[in-house]
Amino acid sequence: MVDRGDGRVLAASQEATVAGVRPGLTLRQAEALCPAVVASPADPVAASRLAERIAADLYDLAPAVEVRLDGRAWLDLAGVPGGGRAAGEARRRLYAATGTEPRLGLAPGPFTAALAAARARPGRLARVEDARSFLAPLPVTELDLDAEQLERLDMLGLRTLGAVAALGPRQLESQLGRAGRTAALLARGEEPIPLRPWRPLTVTGVRCQLEPPVEDREALLFVARGLCGDLAGQLDQRGAGARKVRVRLEVDGGTGQPEVRESVVRHPLSSAAELFGLISSWLREWRPAAPIVEVAIELPALEAAGRRQLRLWMGDDGSAEEVEAALERLQERHGVEMALRARPTLSTSPIPDQRFALDPV
């Protein structure tokens, strides 16, 4: 079980879920349901990166996707032909991202779908055709209300969503305010809370104005290396990698049209070394028409870094910088011992291990 920091449950393991623990409960309530439960502090950075990865993985399955840090994700399948097939593909991608079989719910709205998924078996899809009849027997604790509001409902004898739905939005609003109206609509299956669609990450880029204008290639490479470091910092904060890279050079006394090069890369770039490896290969062979007054590097297309596939290089990738960047990426992930260089030591020894020493590259 994960504690979100305010004394309430953010997410629960499968074992705790079976015992009745769910997001939003207080730690005391969770311990009452499952005495053996262990509370762990939330890791906001890791949770945010995983949520970004899941959203990116699901993005092409539906017009709108929302992923929350409490482990829940929604796809708006309205108008999508074969919604069941999309749900099946979502299950496969979620399992690949988390290593855990997700619980799936297919219903007319997000509130009902979430409750259906919570009651499904791992890896299985629970379908709901009639939201109101499905919701009616469920307890009012499924509503996002605080303890005082739930106590008020109990005093009114409203202990199920069916009872709340029967009372009506206007009457419950008079008791609980705006939250009461929302609760009554949810209990009726009317879904007043829309999804908050996830959008792919975007980074506008970085630029540097040069005064005086630069002609020297090494000076231009020095500026580009610094810009790549700034971009890598932005990408690290967002847990993202660049799928497309664009470099723009403004030349002195030009016609107003900058010189531009761009490319879609085979694997997402996120470190300064990776970005500079690509951009420096362009700059070394670039022949601008005049001295350069501004350098801009833009990343028009990003994806969550979690989707990156660890790989080296394909044939004809070209530059030594890309190979070095791939090696650096391997060593950052798995340690410097991941790549070793054989160094002759005692070539006359009959024992193979004595003839060479293996040093980190």
Residues 6+ apart with CB under 8 A from 178: none
- Is residue 180 within 8 Å of 279, Cβ to Cβ? no
Angle at 90 between CA 84 and CA 95, to 5 degrees: 135
Together in a domain, 257 and 298: yes
Per-residue pLDDT of 310-327, as tens digits, reads: 444 444 444 566 666 667
- Dihedral angle at the C-alpha atoms of 44, 45, 51, 53, nearest 10 degrees? -170
Together in a domain, 212 and 166: no
Together in a domain, 145 and 209: no
Beta strands per DSSP E along the chain: 2-3, 9-11, 40-41, 64-67, 73-76, 104-106, 125-127, 203-214, 240-251, 259-269, 292-304, 340-344, 356-360
Residue 277 lies in a domain: yes
Together in a domain, 127 and 30: no
Report helix, strand or coil for 352.
helix
The reported pLDDT for the residue numbered 252 is 83
Residue 82 lies in a domain: yes
The reported pLDDT for the residue numbered 202 is 67
The reported pLDDT for the residue numbered 241 is 83
Together in a domain, 60 and 167: yes
The reported pLDDT for the residue numbered 294 is 92
Per-residue pLDDT of 173-197, as tens digits, reads: 998 999 999 999 999 999 999 899 8
Q: Which domain holds residue 14?
A: 1-39
CA dist., res. 1 & res. 30, Å (int): 9
CA dist., res. 157 & res. 14, Å (int): 32
CATH of the domain at 298: 3.30.1490.100
The reported pLDDT for the residue numbered 312 is 43
Together in a domain, 147 and 23: no
Q: Provide the terminal-to-terminal Cα distance of the chain, rounded to the nearest Å.
A: 42
For the chain, give the longest Cα–Cα distance: 94
Residue 319 lies in a domain: no
The reported pLDDT for the residue numbered 309 is 43
Together in a domain, 256 and 144: no
CA dist., res. 248 & res. 258, Å (int): 6
Together in a domain, 215 and 249: yes
The reported pLDDT for the residue numbered 305 is 58
Together in a domain, 62 and 94: yes
Together in a domain, 130 and 154: yes
CA dist., res. 65 & res. 98, Å (int): 17
Residue 143 lies in a domain: yes
Residue 193 lies in a domain: no
Together in a domain, 174 and 213: no
Residue 355 lies in a domain: no
Residue 197 lies in a domain: no
* Structural domains in the chain (count): 3
Q: Which residues of the chain have pLDDT under 50?
A: 306-318
CATH of the domain at 6: 3.40.1170
Residue 269 lies in a domain: yes
